[in-house]
Structure 1
Amino acid sequence: MTVVIKVGGARAVDPAGALADVASLVDSGEDTVVTHGGSTAVDDTLERLGMEPEYVETPSGVVGRFTDEDTIEVFEMVMPGLLNTEMVAGLQSEDVDAVGLSGVDGKLLYGPRKSAVRVVEDGKRKIRRGDHSGSIKQVNGDLLESLLSDGYTPVVSPPMAGADEDGVTPVNTDADRSAAAIAGELDGTLVLLTDVPGILEDPDDRDTLIREVETPEDWTRMEDAAEGFMGRKVMAIREALEGGAPEVIVADANIDQPVATAMEGDGTHVYPSALPDDAETDGGDDE
């Protein structure tokens, strides 16, 4: 079995427990791929440079980052530079032979660049141009499988390789959906670790956790409960399951043994049988 673990980039997420769990999985012989976000670190860096992070809402209600030319430069510096290196070093401290990759390396994450995005501002639908984001259409599974077969643990972060008429450039893409694309390509279980215990019907009440999503009716319930940034996770869940993942779990990163606990039943577990026929995948790209 292959396990793809996405460690969230929110300020409240502590990756230490996840890294220890990754080491346990690797020791037990499981093929494991780690992915990560970095929204907080990108925002902090933008603010230190005197730039304001900008988020937009898509017509389907999903919130994502608008990535202009200046932002993508900061993004390239922070994500594959600072954060990926720190994640790789953390795993190596756990005696894991980790290898850091961005989506650009070997065209690991590849697809068309978007030059504009659809947004909703003041209740009106608009087109925002000048965006530096992309949609993943291909995953270089051979590269990942080659590393895994040689005993290495890939650690993957955005940006992705975005193609347009000028060639290939690094562009932003959502880290949850990056992890979903990888899980689908490798037919692996996807574990999305975040700063909440899973998908909650009431975001202010941890006791309203949706534990299992097995039918289209369950899917509707989950989709109705997902607000703001959680909407991107629902999109990622769908893409992973449609791509071939046997299960997606959304769980708390900040408990003891977060991956092991999630795989034993904690968090929100979503299965292919829940996939609806009419769900849409329209959303912003963000780390």
Structure 2
Amino acid sequence: MTVVVKIGGARAVDPEGALADIAAVAEAGTDVVVVHGGSTAVDDTLERMGMEPEYVETPSGVVGRFTDEETMDVFKMAMAGLVNTDLVTGLRNAGADAVGLSGVDGGLLTGTRKSAVRVVEDGKKKIRRGDHSGRIQSVNADLLESLLADGYTPVASPPMLADDGVAVNTDADRASAAVAAALGATLVSLTDVQGVYRDPDDASTLIERVETTDDYAELEAAAEGFMTRKVMAATEALEGGASEVIVADANAEKPVSAALDGSGTHVLPEAISDE
């Protein structure tokens, strides 16, 4: 069994418990690949350098970072340097033989660059140029499988390598989805809530299992804000060949083990079979 664990970069996510649990799961014989974000670290680094983080909204309502050339330099510094190194350090201290990778290393994550993006500003649709972001089209699964076969726990993050030979930003949720799909793995997406709620303000309305297309329609309707991107990533993972997607609480006790044992929101491939 292979598990891809996505660790989010939100302030409310404390990765320490997840790292100890990942090390324990790997020690027990499960292949684990970690994919992480780091939006908070990027924003903090930008602010320390006197730069303002910029977020834009797409016509479909998804909010994402606008990454110009200068921001991209900070992104590479914070993501592949600070966050990745800290996670690898934590995993190695917990007993896992972790190795850090960016999406550029070994052509791990490659795809097309979006030099211009459609955004909504003041209620009007506009084209913003100069963006350094891209969409993953290929994952070097052989690289990950080779590392796993040698007993390593890969820890991967954006940036990805674009088709024009430039390192560009890509969404970490969708990166984890692409990796899980390429490996046929279970994706455990850790966040700062217990899963997807029917009512975003009420944890008692947790959607526990998504097994039918009707369940999936309910899941899509319930997803708001950052959860919209996680549901989108879940769809891409399952359509690409992932065996299951679980959205679960990063701050729970033994969060990965708990998710694999049934906690969180479990989305199964048959739920999107007719989509």
Q: TM-score, normalised by structure 2?
A: 0.98
Which of 172, 176, 197 matches 2:173?
176
Q: How does 1:140-155 map to 2 (within 5 A)?
A: 140-155=140-155
Tell me the equivalent position of 1:282: none
In structure 1, how many angstroms separate the alpha carbons of the residues matched to 2:197 and 2:49? 35
In structure 1, how many angstroms separate the alpha carbons of the residues matched to 2:63 and 2:262? 29
Q: How does 1:199-210 map to 2 (within 5 A)?
A: 199-210=196-207
In structure 1, how many angstroms separate the alpha carbons of the residues matched to 2:154 and 2:50? 34
Tell me the equivalent position of 2:69: 69
Alignment pair present for 1:255 and 2:252: yes
* Aligned-pair Cα RMSD in Å: 1.0
User: AA paired with 1:192?
Assistant: S
Alignment pair present for 1:97 and 2:97: yes
Identity %: 69
Which of 254, 261, 269 matches 2:266?
269
**TM-superposition CA deviations, 1:56-79 (whole Å, max 9, x none):** 111221111111111111000000
1:84 Cα deviation after fit: 0.3
| Higher RCO by CA contacts (8 Å cutoff, separation 6 or greater) | 1
User: AA paired with 2:214?
Assistant: E
Tell me the equivalent position of 1:37: 37
In structure 2, how many angstroms separate the alpha carbons of the residues matched to 1:62 and 1:216? 23
Q: Where has structure 1 moved over 4 Å in runs of 4 or more?
A: none
In structure 2, how many angstroms separate the alpha carbons of the residues matched to 1:204 and 1:19? 28
Tell me the equivalent position of 1:283: none
SS at match of 1:266: coil
CA contact (8 A) 1:63 1:231 kept: no
Which of 211, 236, 239 matches 1:242?
239
Tell me the equivalent position of 1:136: 136
Tell me the equivalent position of 1:117: 117
In structure 2, how many angstroms separate the alpha carbons of the residues matched to 1:196 and 1:25? 22
Tell me the equivalent position of 2:188: 191
Tell me the equivalent position of 1:231: 228
**TM-superposition CA deviations, 1:15-61 (whole Å, max 9, x none):** 01111111111111111101111111111111111111111111221
SS at match of 1:43: helix
User: AA paired with 2:21?
Assistant: D
In structure 1, how many angstroms separate the alpha carbons of the residues matched to 2:138 and 2:151? 24
CA contact (8 A) 1:109 1:139 kept: yes
In structure 2, how many angstroms separate the alpha carbons of the residues matched to 1:122 and 1:201? 30
Alignment pair present for 1:221 and 2:218: yes
In structure 2, how many angstroms separate the alpha carbons of the residues matched to 1:276 and 1:124? 35
In structure 1, how many angstroms separate the alpha carbons of the residues matched to 2:211 and 2:225? 23
In structure 1, how many angstroms separate the alpha carbons of the residues matched to 2:52 and 2:206? 34
In structure 2, how many angstroms separate the alpha carbons of the residues matched to 1:266 and 1:142? 31
In structure 2, how many angstroms separate the alpha carbons of the residues matched to 1:214 and 1:61? 26
The answer for unaligned runs of 5 or more in structure 1 is 279-287
**TM-superposition CA deviations, 1:80-101 (whole Å, max 9, x none):** 1011011001011011110000
CA contact (8 A) 1:183 1:245 kept: yes
User: AA paired with 2:178?
Assistant: A
The answer for unaligned runs of 5 or more in structure 2 is none
User: AA paired with 1:29?
Assistant: G
In structure 1, how many angstroms separate the alpha carbons of the residues matched to 2:232 and 2:248? 16
User: AA paired with 2:239?
Assistant: E
In structure 1, how many angstroms separate the alpha carbons of the residues matched to 2:222 and 2:67? 27
**TM-superposition CA deviations, 1:216-260 (whole Å, max 9, x none):** 111111111111221111111011101111100000001110111
SS at match of 2:43: helix
In structure 2, how many angstroms separate the alpha carbons of the residues matched to 1:57 and 1:113? 18
SS at match of 1:119: strand
Q: How does 1:49-64 map to 2 (within 5 A)?
A: 49-64=49-64
1:277 Cα deviation after fit: 4.5
In structure 1, how many angstroms separate the alpha carbons of the residues matched to 2:35 and 2:273? 27
1:203 Cα deviation after fit: 1.6
In structure 1, how many angstroms separate the alpha carbons of the residues matched to 2:129 and 2:231? 26
